[in-house]
Amino acid sequence: MSVPCVAVERERGESVRERLADADVLDGDHEIAVDGDTIYIPVVDPEAVPADLDASIVERDAAERDRPLTPAEILGYEPSLERLGDIVILDEDDDGRAREIADAVMASDVPCETVLNRASPIEGELRVRRWDVLAGTDTETVHREYGHEFLLDVAEVYFSPRLATERHRVIEQVDAGESVVDMFAGVGPYAVPMAARGADVVACDLNERAVEYLRENAARNGVADRVTAVAGDVRDLVGGGGGDAVDYADAVDDADAADRLVMNLPHSADEFLDTAVALAGEECVLHYYDIQHEDDPFGPGTRAIRAAAGDEYAVDVETERVVKSYAPHEYNVCLDVRLTRA
């Protein structure tokens, strides 16, 4: 049967396949084929193939795949689950149903070592969640996102695979040579790919375990020389916090002059806007994450940024983006804002 396929040189096959998987366009019902130096990867929607892949799309005969056994086939219903490396994550209130799904996942062909169910909301300053371990034991895994790999332990650090597309949107704006400060960096899903694009990144997090993973992830992805990981309160980067001040000049070459700031701490980023303004250079793009009511999702963030910038910076809101629904009538949003010194 003839199906649309992305055709690329063999040596790029795996990286292109990963990008197509991240973009959710892989056609799992048909076999990938190799012919000479070209690999043909079946896709479900040619229009949704990322334009920057630099690959042609052709119609081609492809053999049907023997379908792997899915949890849905075992259960008779489609369970809601999320994959993080070789961990499967459930969000079930009913313990019996969670157990039933975990058993089906382990009996299926899903490559999985551990099944976890959410046991608490994301909590505390470090934004970590508690888990019920339903199968396996290991909460540490390697997760792949847009060609980069991240080692992390979900029991010790924050990480959400659902934000992959949003992170990629922001990361793609980065140019080589920029100075970036990722103020709430976690295990590095912004910092590492930004450094891979040639930016010099200072990445800060209060969670010491997250910073250990961040250093490891910078090394794994070959960008350790462009990532300076700092464990502590980001306010101390400018000496404004209560702890030992970290000399910002030690952390970035171009002292107190960030070209880009990432503020991914949606519930309380407004409390850190004075720090952001102190870190900004002559011209600086701020990616400000927030959680707000649907009636005015961008207003509170915009007003808070203008208040913090005062007369020091002109504030130009370049993008207002709803990232995802957070709760009934509440959105997780991002403002991309350009600060230009007045």
Ligand X SMILES: C[S@@+](CC[C@H](N)C(=O)[O-])C[C@H]1O[C@@H](n2cnc3c(N)ncnc32)[C@H](O)[C@@H]1O
Using CB under 6 A, list all residues that contact ligand X.
125-127, 158-159, 163, 184-186, 189-190, 204-207, 210, 233-234, 264-265
Report, in Å, the least distance between residue 156 CB and ligand X: 10
Report, in Å, the least distance between residue 101 CB and ligand X: 25
Report, in Å, the least distance between residue 317 CB and ligand X: 21
Report, in Å, the least distance between residue 213 CB and ligand X: 10
Q: Select 179 or 207, whichever has its Cβ closest to ligand X.
A: 207
Report, in Å, the least distance between residue 268 CB and ligand X: 8
Distance separating alpha carbons of residues 51 and 274, to the nearest angstrom: 38
Report, in Å, the least distance between residue 191 CB and ligand X: 8
Q: Select 125 or 149, whichever has its Cβ closest to ligand X.
A: 125
Q: SS in 3 state form for the chain?
A: CEEEEEEEEHHHHHHHHHHHHHCCCECCCECCEEECCEEEEEECCHHHCCHHHCCEEEEEECCECCCCCCHHHHHCCCCCEEEECCEEEECCCCHHHHHHHHHHHHHCCCCCCEEEEECCCCECCCCECCEEEEECCCCEEEEEECCEEEEEECCCCCCCHHHHHHHHHHHCCCCCCCEEEECCCCCCCCHHHHHHCCCEEEEEECCHHHHHHHHHHHHHCCCHHHEEEEECCHHHHHCCCCCCCCCHHHHCCCCCCEEEEEECCCCCHHHHHHHHHHHEEEEEEEEEEEEEECCCCCHHHHHHHHHHHCCCEEEEEEEEEEEEEEECCEEEEEEEEEEEEC
Residue closest to ligand X when measured from CB atoms: 186
Q: Select 59 or 247, whichever has its Cβ closest to ligand X.
A: 247
Please answer whether residues 333 and 292 qualify as being in contact, where contact means their C-beta atoms are separated by less than 8 angstroms: yes
Q: Select 14 or 125, whichever has its Cβ closest to ligand X.
A: 125
Q: Select 291 or 305, whichever has its Cβ closest to ligand X.
A: 291
Report, in Å, the least distance between residue 166 CB and ligand X: 9
Q: Select 324 or 341, whichever has its Cβ closest to ligand X.
A: 324
Q: Select 158 or 298, whichever has its Cβ closest to ligand X.
A: 158
